[in-house]
């Protein structure tokens, strides 16, 4: 039984995000947005938008990493149940 939110599937592999993922996105967004150097460059709203995009890109890279594990496992005939993104990164559920 998977916990978290199902957000779709990639290559027929279900993708879930844990509630802790939202905390990390908010934390990165806040830390980047409150940085005075960024606020000076792009304005206060732009700094928070940049922080949000940074968080999304971080998790996109984690997702790409886990997807790599999953696709290699599939190519070797191993069943892949799902990919889950959470507080500490991601995990591919492979049998």
- The pTM (predicted TM-score) of the whole model is 0.86
Mean pLDDT of 65-88: 95
What pLDDT does 77 receive?
96
Residues noted as catalytic:
66
Assign 39 to helix, strand or coil: helix
CA 52, CA 49: separation in Å to the nearest integer? 5
* Adjacent-strand bridge partners of 13: 10
pLDDT confidence bin for 71, thresholds 50/70/90: very high
């Amino acid at each position: 039984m998977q916990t978290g939110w199902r957000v779709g599937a990639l290559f027929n592999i279900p993708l879930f995000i844990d509630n802790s993922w939202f905390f990390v996105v908010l934390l990165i967004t806040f830390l980047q947005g409150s940085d005075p150097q960024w606020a000076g460059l792009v304005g206060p709203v732009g700094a928070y938008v940049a922080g949000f995009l940074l968080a999304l890109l971080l998790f996109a890279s984690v997702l790409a990493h886990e997807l790599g594990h999953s696709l290699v496992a599939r190519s070797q005939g191993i069943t892949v149940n799902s990919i889950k993104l959470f507080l500490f990164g991601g995990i591919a559920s492979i049998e």
